[in-house]
């Protein structure tokens, strides 16, 4: 009776594996013809098994394709291919893939990616049954062996390892928190004792008493005043000119800060403010920089001038210029445009072109081409047929390789 039950269990397991494998192959779009085309003559390394898409141990790990060759027109073959040989780690949490002996070995974590139509919410008691050391651990391991799914087996082992690590870290955190609590408690008690000690010393006037006792025991040594051997003048006053000190028996003398006269102060000075002020441009008295006749309009020296005064001065200077006849105007039209001696963009010397005519004035950031003014509007970038490099080594979409309809 026991042998019959075991045979029926093996038959059901084989049927489930074949159904899941056929459904996986249909969702991936993998055919037997493609599987035959991907076979290589390389020998499998020690410990590796063939990565058969029709088998239950299949896992979509990608490695470099030895037949990939970049060409001038593009590339030959695919850059990545399914690993023909794979090997699982002892706990089924990692899988290694290679093309054969002598080729590189790549690894990737093993995840279970199938989604059930109506998954059951797992309670804490259910999670407890899957942990390592639980009473149901033996039954769970036996069920995993009967199932024969390395992805589910690896995910269960990863859950057990992470759960044990979380418990260890939590114990370390609790121990560190207890130490911090003890140290904080001792610190608070010490600070309280220190505050009480400071209050007692302050009420006893300990600092003043100790200072008096020190002065009685060690009286200060009398020293004569230090004097300079030579006459030292007084330092200049801050914010004003150096003046001699005014003695009590001397008469106070005032000075006008506008005309520097000693007869009156600045309030009653007969000279007006504009007469004594000098122009900051030409240095003459009688006018300011705003009304200086040597002022240059439009060159940064008319910032304090109103727009009406600026326009009036421009009109006045334009009327003073001699009138131009028709020949002079035609000569201006035929005048050659000025070109700088050195271009500040490309650095060419000799006045070969203007700034707008510089071949480096505009740049296309797609292809890197440069040109003069308007180059970007006239330029057309041809699409690049080169191969786009992938970020990761294993760029497979796992959702395409799982049994999405399996409950």
Answer whether residue 211 shows pLDDT above 70.
yes
User: Sorting pLDDT into bands at 50, 70 and 90, what band is 198?
Assistant: very high
Residues above pLDDT 70, as percent of the chain: 70
| Average pLDDT over the chain, rounded to an integer | 77
Contact between 393 and 103 under an 8 Å Cβ cutoff? The reply is: no
What average pLDDT does the segment 184-213 reach?
Answer: 93
Phi and psi, residue 328, nearest 5°: -65, -35
Q: Is 109 helix (H, G, I), strand (E, B) or coil?
A: strand
Q: Give percent of the chain above pLDDT 90.
A: 26
- Mean pLDDT of all residues in 303-313: 60
Confidence at residue 330, expressed as pLDDT on a 0 to 100 scale: 84
- CA-based R_g, the chain, Å: 48
| pLDDT tens digits, one per residue of 130-166 | 998 999 999 999 998 888 889 999 999 999 999 999 9
What is the tally of helices (H) and strands (E) in the chain?
Answer: 10, 10
pLDDT of residue 25: 47
Task: Say which residues have a Cβ less than 8 Å from residue 109's Cβ, sequence separation at least 6.
Answer: 93, 94, 95
Q: Which distant-in-sequence residues (6+ apart) come within 8 Å of 140 by Cβ?
A: 129, 130, 134, 156
Give the dihedral sign, CA 43/49/51/54: positive
Q: Where are the domains of the chain?
A: 1-110, 124-206, 339-376
pLDDT at 32: 43
Note the pLDDT of residue 181. 95
What is the SS3 assignment for 363?
A: strand
What band does 26 get if pLDDT is binned at 50, 70 and 90?
very low
pLDDT at 301: 52
> Of residues 202 and 231, which shows the higher confidence score?
202
CA dist., res. 235 & res. 229, Å (int): 17
What is residue 321's predicted lDDT score, i.e. its pLDDT?
82
Of 33, 109, 19, 75, give the one whose Cα is nearest residue 388. 75
- Alpha carbon separation from 34 to 52, 328, 400 (Å, rounded): 11, 85, 17
Spatial CB neighbours of 225, under 8 Å, sequence gap ≥ 6: none
pTM as predicted: 0.40
């Amino acid at each position: 009776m026991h042998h019959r039950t075991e045979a029926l269990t093996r038959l059901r397991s084989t049927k489930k594996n074949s159904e899941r494998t056929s459904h996986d192959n249909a969702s991936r779009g993998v055919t037997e013809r493609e599987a035959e085309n991907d076979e290589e003559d390389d020998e499998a390394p020690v410990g590796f098994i063939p990565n058969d898409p029709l088998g239950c141990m299949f896992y979509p790990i990608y490695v470099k394709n030895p037949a990939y060759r970049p060409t001038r027109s593009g590339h030959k073959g695919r850059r990545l291919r399914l690993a023909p040989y794979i090997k699982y780690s002892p706990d089924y949490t990692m899988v290694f893939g290679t093309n054969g002996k002598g080729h590189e070995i790549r690894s990737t974590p093993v995840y279970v990616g199938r989604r059930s139509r109506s998954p059951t919410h797992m309670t804490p008691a259910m999670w407890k049954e899957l942990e390592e050391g639980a009473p149901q651990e033996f039954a769970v391991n036996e069920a995993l062996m009967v199932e024969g799914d390395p992805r589910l087996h690896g995910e269960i082992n990863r859950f057990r390892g992470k759960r044990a690590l979380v418990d260890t870290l939590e114990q370390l955190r609790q121990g560190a928190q207890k130490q911090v609590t003890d140290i904080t408690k001792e610190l608070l008690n010490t600070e309280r004792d220190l505050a009480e000690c400071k209050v007692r010393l302050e009420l006893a006037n300990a600092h003043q008493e100790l200072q008096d006792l020190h002065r009685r025991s060690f009286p200060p040594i009398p020293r004569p005043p230090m004097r300079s051997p030579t006459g030292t003048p007084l330092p200049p006053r801050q914010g004003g000119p150096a003046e001699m000190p005014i003695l009590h028996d001397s008469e106070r003398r005032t000075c006008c800060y506008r005309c520097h006269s000693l007869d009156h102060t600045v309030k009653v000075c007969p000279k007006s403010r504009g007469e004594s002020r000098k122009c900051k441009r030409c240095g003459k008295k009688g006018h300011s920089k705003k009304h200086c006749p040597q002022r240059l309009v439009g060159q940064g020296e008319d910032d304090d001038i109103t727009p009406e005064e600026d326009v009036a001065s421009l009109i006045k200077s334009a009327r003073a210029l001699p009138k131009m006849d028709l020949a002079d105007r035609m000569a201006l039209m035929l005048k050659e445009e000025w070109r700088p001696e050195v271009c500040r963009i490309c650095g060419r010397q000799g006045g070969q072109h203007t700034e707008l005519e510089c071949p480096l004035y505009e740049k296309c950031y797609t292809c890197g081409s440069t040109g003069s003014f308007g180059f970007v509007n006239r330029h057309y970038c041809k699409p690049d047929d080169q191969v786009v490099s992938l970020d990761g080594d294993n760029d497979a979409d796992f959702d395409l390789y799982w049994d999405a309809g399996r409950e």
